[in-house]
Structure 1
Amino acid sequence: MIHLQPTSTIPYTDMGGAASRLATPIKQRRVEKDLDNKVVEALRERARARKKTFKSVNSITMRLPRFKDGLRDIRDVFDHYDVDSNGTIDNEELRSCMSKLQVQMSEKEVDDVHRYCDVNSRKGIQFQEFVVLLCLMYLLFGPGVTRQVSEFESAKLNYVFDELIDAFLFFNKDGDGKMRRKDVTQRMNEASHQERTPSHITTQLFKEMDLNKNGSVNLKEFLFSMIRWAGIETEDEGSNETSP
């Protein structure tokens, strides 16, 4: 169970609605930080317990078709929980999903995770974000999550989620859960010192991953980007996404 620390509200003053308008973003940032910290803790534990999977950026890029194949079957799961078939999983639908996955979370925690995984801020979880959510649940709660998604496909999903998480750890050498532009540049060039990747390419690649433009990429943003590059698309997106 994800135990989130209660967030304090901003004292309501004579400024009227200004205080309440400010309270929500601050609370949300605190929740996101709390979830980020829990993900970092899980990543560090994983890095200590597992051998490194990837030795170069090319080895990650070559796995993209396999990632796509392994994640394709999640579409049926998404459609099952998208009860109203509008291409988005809302809070109520997500609660049903978490119950099915046997992830013990309070309604508030489900709401917090829902907002956390709403990467593109379209007020609901689309298919790519749903894949990100399942991968994060797998990291935090273990393989029981994938068994509930699909008993038949659980081994395949475990493999894909493991490699997606390990791909992030390949870039995140500091182990703090934050990938920076220098990490991308260093990793893309360390395999060959003779043919260095042009800086404008590594810069563009990092910008595509840094979805909230804060100068670092967390696991959530990295997963969302990798899923797009693998060709896992939502109903309203084309197939012309930039790939690494």
Structure 2
Amino acid sequence: MYYHHPLAWHDTKLFQVVAGMGGAASRFTQRRVERDLDNKVVEALRERVRTRKKTFKSVDSITMRLPSFKDGLRDIRDIFDHYDGDSNGTIDKEELRSCLRQLQVQMSEKGVDSVHRYCDIDNRKGIQFQEFVVLLCLMYLLFGPNVTRQVSEFESVKLNYVFDELIDAFLFFNKEGGGKMRRKDVTQRMNETSHQERTPSHITTQLFKDMDLDRNGKVNLKEFLFAMIRWAGLETDEDDSNETSP
């Protein structure tokens, strides 16, 4: 005969609560990882603002560079395919560890896991090609030109130029290097150099929405880079024909 222990229901509820706490702890850890990496990026951006001259003077000057961004980044596809050892279109954690070792980026195992989560922008449990481009750009910002030399000695100058311009494009909107772009920043920068009609608010709103992937009202560098790479039209395994462009 089945005996139902009077505490069984409470045990089940306790298990559910503990499981829920575990999930909450995991989300908290991930948010902390994001904050830590965002803070490192902000430090690098502020140093860049302090030491470099501004490149872009208008949104149009950024938009006109999109074809050159695409041309400069196209060769990264071969690099991605090289590190995608199982050719499944995704860089997993072990493949990322191999990649960072070859790029001579010194990072702990925990650090690699953190970067993998951070650059998995669409939450598909791995780094796809566009996210890999974002990863390389962030590593270039944080660790310097040696990263691109390890990617390709022959292509390093071109990659440095493109990465510099992509980062400077973000700083056009985020002038102080604080690391968070808001919709008002986009609206202000799109209109301050225009001598004609102001850009309609629905256009600036949609443009910001396309960049604000986590819908928190702020766009950090990785979100901006991801949007710029899509707008440049880099080839992916998916059909990007319906993506919005600025």
TM-score bracket for the superposition, by shorter chain length: over 0.9
Distance 2:170 2:194 in 1: 20
Q: Residues 59 and 189 of structure 2 are in contact (CA less than 8 Å); yes or no, is this contact kept in structure 1?
A: yes
Q: Residues 13 and 19 of structure 1 are in contact (CA less than 8 Å); yes or no, is this contact kept in structure 2?
A: no
Q: Secondary structure at the match of 1:233?
A: coil
Distance 2:224 2:172 in 1: 12
Q: Residues 233 and 239 of structure 1 are in contact (CA less than 8 Å); yes or no, is this contact kept in structure 2?
A: no
Which digits, 9 at most, give the CA deviation of each residue in 1:179-212, with x for residues without a partner? Answer: 0000000000011143110000000000000000
2:7 counterpart residue number = none
Q: Residues 46 and 176 of structure 2 are in contact (CA less than 8 Å); yes or no, is this contact kept in structure 1?
A: no
| Identity over aligned pairs, percent | 80
Distance 2:235 2:41 in 1: 25
2:163 counterpart residue number = 161
1:23 counterpart residue number = 25
TM-score (structure 2 length as normaliser): 0.92
Q: Secondary structure at the match of 2:153?
A: coil
Which digits, 9 at most, give the CA deviation of each residue in 1:205-226, with x for residues without a partner? Answer: 0000000000000000000000
Distance 1:184 1:53 in 2: 17
Distance 2:16 2:228 in 1: 47
TM-score (structure 1 length as normaliser): 0.93
- Aligned letter for 1:110? V
Which of 212, 215, 218 aligns to 1:216? It is 218
Q: Residues 84 and 90 of structure 2 are in contact (CA less than 8 Å); yes or no, is this contact kept in structure 1?
A: yes
Structure with higher Rg: it is 2
- Aligned letter for 1:187? R
1:7 counterpart residue number = none
Distance 2:157 2:176 in 1: 29
Stretches of structure 2 lacking an aligned partner (at least 5 in a row): 1-13
Q: Does 1:64 align with 2:81?
A: no
Taking structure 1 as reference, are residues 24 and 119 closer, same or farther at Cα in structure 2, changes over 3 Å only? Answer: same
Over aligned residue pairs, what C-alpha RMSD do you find?
1.4
Taking structure 1 as reference, are residues 13 and 46 closer, same or farther at Cα in structure 2, changes over 3 Å only? Answer: farther
2:35 counterpart residue number = 33
Which digits, 9 at most, give the CA deviation of each residue in 1:77-110, with x for residues without a partner? Answer: 0000101111000000000000000000011100
1:236 counterpart residue number = 238
- Aligned letter for 2:76? I
- Aligned letter for 1:141? F
2:10 counterpart residue number = none
Which digits, 9 at most, give the CA deviation of each residue in 1:55-83, with x for residues without a partner? Answer: 00000000000000000000000000101
2:53 counterpart residue number = 51
Q: Residues 49 and 176 of structure 2 are in contact (CA less than 8 Å); yes or no, is this contact kept in structure 1?
A: no
Q: Residues 101 and 149 of structure 1 are in contact (CA less than 8 Å); yes or no, is this contact kept in structure 2?
A: yes
How many positions carry a matched residue from both structures? 233
Runs (4 or more) in structure 1 with deviation over 6 Å come to: none
2:111 counterpart residue number = 109
Residue 234 of structure 1, CA deviation: 1.6
- Aligned letter for 2:109? E
